[in-house]
Each structure stands twice: as C-alpha cells, then as structure tokens.
Structure 1
Amino acid sequence: MNTHIRTDCVVIGGGPAGLMLGLLLARRGVDVTVVEKHADFLRDFRGDTIHPSTQELLIELGLLDELLRRPHSDMSRVQLSWHGTAVTLADFSHLPTQRKVMTFMPQWDFLDMIADAAERLPDFRLLRSTTAETVMRDADGRIIGITATAPDGGPVQVTARLVVDASGRDSDVRADAGLTPNRVAAAMDVLWFRLSKHPGESFPFMQAGSGMVITIDREGFFQIAYVIPAGSWSGTDEDLLRMRENLREVSPGLADSIDREGLTTSDVHLLQVRLERLGRWYTDGLLCIGDAAHAMSPAGGVGINLAIQDAVATARYLVPVLKVRRPTERDLRKVQRRRTWPVLVTQRIQRTAQGPLLSVSQPGSPMPGLLRLLRKFPRLARIGGRFVGLGARPERLS
C-alpha cells in the first residue's frame, strides 16, 4: 500500500536534534512529521550528557521535572585523574543557570521523554521503523519531500514545505540532495565497552597518563570510553591485549575488572571519530542540522548540546515562515549563519584537544602545562565549565 503524507515540515532522524525540533515546531502549531528508522531508541554507546544549557531549555518547556524523575546522576565539576592526581577541568557551579550541573542519563530515556511530550501535541507525528530513502523534487528541481520505506516494506511519500535532515553524519538523504561535507582528519578514535559493576566499586570519571579513559557509572554497570590513535584498532586479539596493557598503566583497577570480566573483541565497539561540516547546510527545500551538518568529536560530549542548539535556532527562525509558506534559501541561510560560528569554535578547540587526549606518559612524568595551570589557578576551570556547559553561543526559545 502506498502511503502519502502531507505536512508542513518532515524531519529525518529521531535523535536529539530531530525530536527536539519536532517538539518545538509542534508546540508552535507547525504540522511536523519525524521519520525514524528504528522502532525505539534503545541503542548503546550514545552520548549520555545533558548539559546545563539543555536543562535551561527543558525548564522553558516545562519538562525538567519529568526529566529528573528518571534515573540520572549529576556532576558539578569535571575532574581528571592524572596518574592519581585530581585536576578540575570544568566547573559548572558558577554558571548563570538554574541547574549548575551536567546530568548523565541514558540517551534512550531522554529521547523517550522528548517523544512522549511531543506525541501529546496534535501537530506532531512520529513514524517509527520508517527509513528515509531519497528526496522528491518538483519539475523545477526543488525538493518537496522524501520517499521512505514503511515497517511492512511498503512505499511512503511525505511532501512538505521543508525537509530537515537530522539523521547524522552518514545521511543518505543528504547525499541524495547533493550536499557533501568537508572533512578534517581526526587524530583519534574511541573504543566503547561495558564492564559489570560490583558492590562498592568506583572509578574516577576521567583518568589520563598513558592515554585517556572515561568511565560513566550506570546502574549495574560501567560504560567505558578509551581514546586511541585513529586507525590503531582492527579488532584483533593482539589489539585487545595491547588495550589491556595500556589501560593497566592508566588505571590498574580498571584493568583488573577487564581481566575479571573476560572481555573479548566482540564486546568492544569502535567509534571512528570524524570532524566534518558542510560548507552549505541547505539547498532549496532542505536544511541539515546536528551531525548531518557538522560531525563532532566526542570530546566534552558537546555534540549533543550543539545539535539541540541547532534545533532551537531552526525553530526560532523558521516557525513564522513555515506557518504561511515554503522557506526560501535565504530563510535557511539565516539558520546556518546563526549556528556556524559556535560550530567553528567548538571544532577548533576539539582539534586542539586531540594531542593531549592521545598523549602517553609514564607514572612520575611531569604533568602537562595546561593541567599544572589549572591546578595552580582552579578558577580557570570556570572557563571550561562555561564552554562545556553552555557552548559558544547558547540559544533561547525567544
């Protein structure tokens, strides 16, 4: 059966950017359809950080209490353990926000909350298990919607005044629209894996020395991110042995847990880091936001924050337009101009951070200059708190 949907805006991707944009448009009376290829949001090794700026947005939306009713943990300072010496990298306690913490929550819980709030609105539609395939064009070559595949394999056509691609860095629709990102070589990749959590067991959030490892304390298990040089993992047993040996230099306790767990290569998931952005985020009838417009490094967990800020700016600029007409390329250009500067600043800082994240030193080696500076002048961590917690240009609903 051929399904045909008409809507004001079709959003591809039910991630943080796509669902947040869908919610913001629908609450302002814009008919919006979000197309998500999965049946649910239960995918592991996604960003779990909810930044203070995002929590400010949730306060404006009346959703913060709903968020905090779900299992979560808060962090007022980001600290790094350098061969056992603690250094504060980011201090959120002085931010001009109501919630001066970074909150950790499985991304599927956060997305479920946003989807639940959006689905209570009459102008919101979420198509799950529906895969966006190609753009549709009119006789003049303008994009007027997308084709998709329904859960039963049937064809779906969604026509809209605007297509927003929020489907991530590997977007097929973006490629079909003729938009190609400019890529900057990333120096690092990240290995993700789980470890069982035993009673009373804990590890510092960030540990560094012979490389860097991040430990996220979940209920019942630890989620581990280990930073490695780009291209150095091929998934062999030798790679796994080398990882365990290197981790023992950073965190002997963590290495013991890995030995006890009996970790295998199939338990380790590789994230190939990409730093890239589109030179032009839009074409006639389509706008890219989030990772579809600018793939970020996981450093600082700021990619989610940037994606949500993109959604806020998109809604603020385009709601008045979408209510009455099809956005022009000039309308779409305003969104890109607003969001380009924070993306450029953030990617530049992330590129600069790649060296320290990959640095290897033995116990007793001198602490890097930046860490020594932060130890000597702890107030400098407030700058890091502002960059991580708010971003280069935080957006407001109005």
Structure 2
Amino acid sequence: MNKEVVIVGGGPAGMLMGLLLAQEKVNVAVLEKNKDLSRDFRGETIAPGSVYLLKKLGVFPALEKHGFIKVRKIKMYDREEKLFSVNFDELDHPQKFGIDMPQPVVLEALKEKALTYPNFSYIEGATCTDLIKDGEKVVGVRYKESEQEFELRSKLVIGAEGRYSRLQTLGNFQVQKKEFDRDLIWFKVPKPIDWEEGNLIKVYKNDHVIILPTYPDYLRVGTYISLGGNREIKQKGISSFIDKVCTIEPRLRKPMNETIKSWEDTTLLKIFTAHLDNWANDGLILIGDSAHTMSPILGQGVNIAMQDAFKLLPYVTNGLKEHSGALPADLFTDFIEKRKKQVSFVASFQSRQEQNLAASSPFQCTIRKVKMKLLDKAPFKNKVMRRLQYGIVENETMEV
C-alpha cells in the first residue's frame, strides 16, 4: 500500500499533522501503537496559542461540548508571599485563555475531524518496526499490527512518537540528552472549594510544588525529589511525602489525606531534555518530543509539538508538488532553523526557571525571591510571556 505521507505516532503533533495534511488533500496515514486513546497523560494543558489554532481548524466546538477548564493566569508564591504573576487577559492577543482537559479528548476530536476526509487513514495498534530504504533514502515504514507485518510506502515519513522515539534510532539520529539532578512526582487530588483560578507554583526554602487545576475538578500536583531518590523517599512512607508537600501548601492536607493512600496513587516522571542537531534525513523528519524533548516546566512540550505541525505543513505540501520521490532533507532546512529558535527560546526560559526552583541555600532562595519580583515588575514581562504562550501566532490579530 502506498501513501504520500506516513506519520508514526498519534499524539498531539502526529494527529494534528494528519488532519492538516488531510485538509490539503494529501494521501496520509497515521500509525498509532496503542489500540485506543484512553491513556493517562500528564501534559493536559494547551496554551492559548495552540487553542487559537484549534479554533481556526474548526476542532474547538468538540472540545467545548466535552468541557474544559480555562487557564488565564500563572502565579508564583513563596509560601503566601506573591513573587510573580501573569494574566493572559493583559497579553496583546485575541485568544485570552489556555485550556486544561484530558488529552485523549483532544486527540479524539482531531482524529474524528481528520476521518471526514477520504484521503486520511488511521491505523491503531500499529507498531513501527523498521524503515524501508532505497539506498540512503527513506521510502516508507514496516509495521506490525495484530502479529502481522505490513509495509507502507511513502514520499515522507514523519516521526511524532514522543520522547521515547524508535525512529530516532532507526534513522541514526544523534541525540543530545541532558538529565536533570531531580525527578518529579505527580499526583491528582480533588480541588478544594474556592480554589483560585490559574496555574500555581509555590516555593518554600529549598522545596516547591507545581499545582495545576485539572478538568473537571481536580488539582494536578508535581513536586521534585533528588535524582534517584525515589527509593529513599518511599522508605520514609507516604505520610512523610504528604508532610513534605503540605509544608509548602497546607491547603492540600485534607485532599491528600483522603486521596493519596499509597505510592500507587503517584507517578514518577524522569526529568530530561533531548535535542537533535539534525531533524531530517531524505524521506524522514522528526517533530515534537521526538526532535526536542522539553522540560515539564510551564507544560510547553505539547504546544511546541503542535506548532511544529502547523509550521511544517507548507514545506510538506510544496515538497510533494515538486518531488516525485522521497522528499530531500534539505527541503526542511529552513523549517528546522526557524523552529530551533523558538525551541531554544522556550528551553532557555525553562532552564532558568529550573535553576530558580532548584535553589537550595538560604542565599540562593533570597536571590530567587529578588529575581522573580524584579521579573514581575519588568516592562518586558508581557512580551516574554506572549512569546511563550502564543509561539507561532504571537502577533496574530485576527478574531476567532
């Protein structure tokens, strides 16, 4: 079977890329290794810029029908002392809020929209096993579905598998991986009555928690532990962990006591970034976390990935018109250079915030407090936040 484009990975970048290509009448298939989309995602926040793009695509009504939480603010406190805040209402863009909702709902909405186009195929339970090559050019993929082997020939394979990408290995890409000196433990608890709107970071001495209101009425909470410290903290018991979190945010005591009964009610997330110098070979390009795994700070990974898809679209459609065979890697040089600038901007901002949150000594904690208060009053604050939250549509003014 032949397709013009094969996308490996049905996450935010892959599913969105499939819909965009289908709308351009490209014969495209999305391969997803899971048999359904009902998985437990941590990245459930979609930034205002990506919400804006989903509105332009006509997907947003399906999301409204399901329901979501509007995210309009980001705040940072040292216990009860405010250090920093941003209100999206004050940013110069028509889209004034991000949303938080289960990621499978977003993926299902994108898939259902794409399936209205006869040139779109979605193959679930399909695990990519190898690349098909003609010399050095990638001309398709081999995949396994229900214990059977299949081949899909194409002019372009797009890898959108996420942070653990098999195509990185199959394509012989060189990965620059940086592990942080901390791990992250996530958990969910019911949202207390009268909890304020917005994403919240609270610090206290050398510790902190990240608290994200989560659809429909939960809080998603993350707190760091030392790298490899999972065994040590577990040995202290779940009550010690609850004490650690509630020392920083006492309002979490009641919902944690009611909900977090064992370590099975938490999830350990390894923190690392991974970037490729080169994202493309002839007939193959990687996007999203497959090309640039981001830190979880500010939840930018999903949004960078989705915006990769939007920016890649014209390069693919023009390339398909100009080339009869595998699309050459140099076709994507301009795309990669431009996207690297945005990825680098976000990654650098995240790295600085990671350093702030990792403050350990009293002196470092004092410096953190001063820096965040200065940033809060800085005249360029909204400009920086607009670029972070809106990305490729930072300067859009069209009403949606």
Q: What TM-score does the superposition give when structure 1 sets the normalisation length?
A: 0.89
User: What residue is the counterpart of 2:174 in the other structure?
Assistant: 180
User: What residue is the counterpart of 2:160 in the other structure?
Assistant: 166
Matches within 5 A, 1:271-350: 271-325=269-323, 326-350=326-350
3-state DSSP of counterpart to 1:273: strand
Q: Equivalents in 1 of 2:82, 2:99: separation in Å?
A: 21
Question: Contact between 1:212 and 1:357, CA under 8 Å: does it hold in 2?
Answer: no
Matches within 5 A, 1:189-338: 189-197=183-191, 200=193, 202=195, 205-206=199-200, 207-209=202-204, 210-234=207-231, 236-238=234-236, 240-325=238-323, 326-338=326-338
Question: Contact between 1:228 and 1:358, CA under 8 Å: does it hold in 2?
Answer: no
How far the C-alpha of 1:144 sits from its partner, in A, is 0.9
Pair 1:113 & 2:100 matched = no
User: What residue is the counterpart of 1:359 in the other structure?
Assistant: 359
Q: Equivalents in 1 of 2:148, 2:9: separation in Å?
A: 19
User: What residue is the counterpart of 1:370 in the other structure?
Assistant: 371
User: What residue is the counterpart of 2:44 in the other structure?
Assistant: 48
In 2 relative to 1, CA 88–27 (structure 1 residues): closer, same or farther, beyond 3 Å? same
Moved more, 33-42 or 88-97: 88-97
Question: Contact between 2:13 and 2:306, CA under 8 Å: does it hold in 1?
Answer: yes
Cα shift readout 1:14-35 (whole Å, capped 9, x = no counterpart): 1111011111111011111000
User: What residue is the counterpart of 1:15 in the other structure?
Assistant: 11
Question: Contact between 2:12 and 2:302, CA under 8 Å: does it hold in 1?
Answer: yes
Cα shift readout 1:198-232 (whole Å, capped 9, x = no counterpart): 6x363674222232232323325332222334332
In 2 relative to 1, CA 125–347 (structure 1 residues): closer, same or farther, beyond 3 Å? same
In structure 2, runs of 5+ residues without a counterpart are: none
Matches within 5 A, 1:37-76: 37-76=33-72
Pair 1:145 & 2:140 matched = yes
Moved more, 87-96 or 351-360: 87-96
3-state DSSP of counterpart to 1:133: strand
In 2 relative to 1, CA 217–141 (structure 1 residues): closer, same or farther, beyond 3 Å? closer
How far the C-alpha of 1:118 sits from its partner, in A, is 0.7
Structure 1 residue identity aligned to 2:341 = W
Q: Equivalents in 2 of 1:227, 1:203: separation in Å?
A: 23
In structure 1, runs of 5+ residues without a counterpart are: none
Q: Equivalents in 1 of 2:254, 2:355: separation in Å?
A: 27
How far the C-alpha of 1:342 sits from its partner, in A, is 0.9
How far the C-alpha of 1:381 sits from its partner, in A, is 4.3
Cα shift readout 1:118-138 (whole Å, capped 9, x = no counterpart): 111111111111111111112
Structure 1 residue identity aligned to 2:352 = T
Question: Contact between 1:233 and 1:239, CA under 8 Å: does it hold in 2?
Answer: no
How far the C-alpha of 1:394 sits from its partner, in A, is 5.3
In 2 relative to 1, CA 201–243 (structure 1 residues): closer, same or farther, beyond 3 Å? farther
RMSD: 2.4
How far the C-alpha of 1:349 sits from its partner, in A, is 1.6
Pair 1:130 & 2:126 matched = yes
Structure 2 residue identity aligned to 1:339 = R
Structure 2 residue identity aligned to 1:341 = K
Moved more, 56-65 or 27-36: 56-65
User: What residue is the counterpart of 1:390 in the other structure?
Assistant: 390
Q: Equivalents in 2 of 1:179, 1:35: separation in Å?
A: 21
How far the C-alpha of 1:337 sits from its partner, in A, is 1.6
- Aligned-residue sequence identity (percent) comes to 24
Number of equivalences? 386
Moved more, 50-59 or 300-309: 50-59
Residue number among 59, 84, 90 corresponding to 1:94 in the alignment:
90
How far the C-alpha of 1:378 sits from its partner, in A, is 7.3
Cα shift readout 1:37-57 (whole Å, capped 9, x = no counterpart): 112222213311121211221
Structure 2 residue identity aligned to 1:219 = P
Cα shift readout 1:248-286 (whole Å, capped 9, x = no counterpart): 211122133222334211221111111120011011211
Q: Equivalents in 1 of 2:55, 2:127: separation in Å?
A: 32
Structure 1 residue identity aligned to 2:234 = T
Q: Equivalents in 1 of 2:97, 2:170: separation in Å?
A: 40
How far the C-alpha of 1:99 sits from its partner, in A, is 1.7
